Amino acid sequence: MRRSPTMHWPVAIPFMVAIVVMLVLVVSLLEVGAVTYAYERLGLDRNWAYGLLMASILGSGVNVPVTRRHGDPRVLPAVVRHYGVSYVLPPAASPGATVIAVNVGGAIVPAALSAYLFVHDGLGLRCLVALAIVTVLVNRLARPVPGLGIAVPALAPAAVAVLAAGLVGGRAVAAVAYVAGTLGCLLGADVLHLGKVRALGAPVASIGGAGTFDGVFLTGIAAVILAAV
């Protein structure tokens, strides 16, 4: 089947399998109640927990185009390996063009949940401080990768978010970890590096897509586990 620049899985098959295995483990925890309690701490019931997990996984293959930027055409490999993870590159829509898109599972779903938690839980200044910490540190860790876009170590946003939330989150530590971690990864890695995309020759620069999806997804899981602990 011909790959589409707006419909493709952001990471290679072995890593998608690992994510699916992680999903199965989380669902197993949901069944025994540990993570159900955690999601309840985030203000979500079990049905919402299942739905958001599935939406994140399935939505990771969907990119919503926003605009297009032109640069120098390049001959790119089908797979780029960085930080130990293999990323599958979509085909270019046209030679030398980079499609700027927003990933459904890696940006729209976590951003919507973050907005809900911020308003519903009244997170306020504590969350904004944690968000600033995560954004700055993830921005320092993010690296432009030719052909791919911007990449971050998968575990870094989650680790930084948990530490920042532990310092300033108070009783809402899980919600602060989720909001600061997901939005901090999206802002620090993707949004603040959009100016560098043209020079990288990436066919699709997806906010929350390849390069950062795994970081955003793992941050959400880490926040849930933190709440259970």
Residue at 122 is within a domain:
yes
Q: CB neighbours (10 Å) of residue 168?
A: 16
* Number of structural domains the chain divides into: 1
Structural domain contains residue 8? no
Q: Are 161 and 177 in contact (CB under 8 A)?
A: yes
The pTM is what?
A: 0.75
Domain of 42 in residue numbering reads as 13-228
Mean pLDDT of 109-116: 91
Q: Is the pLDDT of residue 125 over 60?
A: yes
Is residue 155 within 8 A of residue 148, CB to CB? The reply is: no
Lowest mean pLDDT among 76-80, 151-155, 218-222: 76-80
Kindly indicate the confidence band of residue 10, based on its pLDDT and cuts at 50, 70 and 90: low
Q: Which residue has the higher pLDDT, 147 or 174?
A: 174
Flag the least confident range among 96-105, 108-117, 176-185, 195-204.
Answer: 195-204
pLDDT at position 153:
80
For 17-75, write each residue's pLDDT tens digit: 776 776 676 666 655 565 566 666 677 777 787 788 778 878 887 888 888 776 554 54
Please indicate, yes or no, if residue 3 is contained in any of the structural domains. no
8 A C-beta contact, residue 173 and residue 121: no
**CA atoms of 209 and 149, how far apart (whole Å):** 10
Q: Which of 146, 136, 154 is nearest to 197 (CA)?
A: 146
Residue 218 has pLDDT above 90, yes or no: no
Cα angle: 160, vertex 129, 119; to 5 degrees: 105
**E strands present in the chain:** 63-70, 79-82, 85-88, 97-103, 143-145, 149-151, 204-207
- Specify if 4 maps to a domain: no
The 10 Å CB-count burial string (b at 16+, else e) for 51-88 is ebbebbbebbbbbeeeeeeeeeeeebeeebebbebebb
Residue whose C-alpha is closest to residue 192's, from 173, 219, 212 = 212
pLDDT at 1 over 50: no
Determine, yes or no, domain membership for 5.
Answer: no
More confident of the two residues 151 and 199: 151
The answer to whether residue 109 is domain-embedded is yes
7 assigned to some structural domain: no
Dist. CA 91–CA 87, nearest whole Å: 13
Residue in this structure with the two tokens 């493709």, named with its chain if needed:
8
